[in-house]
Amino acid sequence: MKIKALLLCSILFSVPVIADGYPTWVMDPSPEVNNDTVAAGACAVTTGDLSMDRTLATTDARAEIVKQFEVALQNESAITKNSEAEVSNDAGKVTRKSKTTINVDDTTEVIAQAVLKNSKIIKAEYHTINAQSNFCTLVTVTKASIGQ
């Protein structure tokens, strides 16, 4: 009877986790934030030093946020680079080709600096992942603080 009660308590009060012990908010942070915020979760194997563990996990989460913006920029620049417009005037149709160059590396650097400056840790917890102790963080940044 005690075992059933302990099992029931552990199920009722446990943090939701998915395969191999990763918390759901690390694998899918979107339910944790609103639409004007970008989030990323990351875990780092613990070192025995809370400050170091927090720094490692937070750095990984911030890097993931920068990657999300970088992918969006690359997709946008691929579309923008090949823009073509057809303009009509009284003399007839004129096709004007426009080439826009976006330097993703420079833009990514600016975004990375903004993420470092404006991001916040909204969740931090220890979890056992693949039989190892890990420190996990959930980091957010508002799109407005990045200029989006």
Q: What is the pLDDT of residues 129-148, one digit of tens each?
A: 999 999 999 999 998 887 76
| Residue % of the chain over a pLDDT of 90 | 38
pTM of model > 0.75? no
Instruction: Give the 3-state secondary structure of the chain.
Output: CHHHHHHHHHHHCCCCECHHHCEHHHHCCHHHCCCCEEEEEEEEECCCCHHHHHHHHHHHHHHHHHHHHHHHHHHHHHHHHCCEEEEEECCEEEEEECCCCCCHHHHHHHHHHHHHHHCEEEEEEEEEECCEEEEEEEEEEEHHHHCC
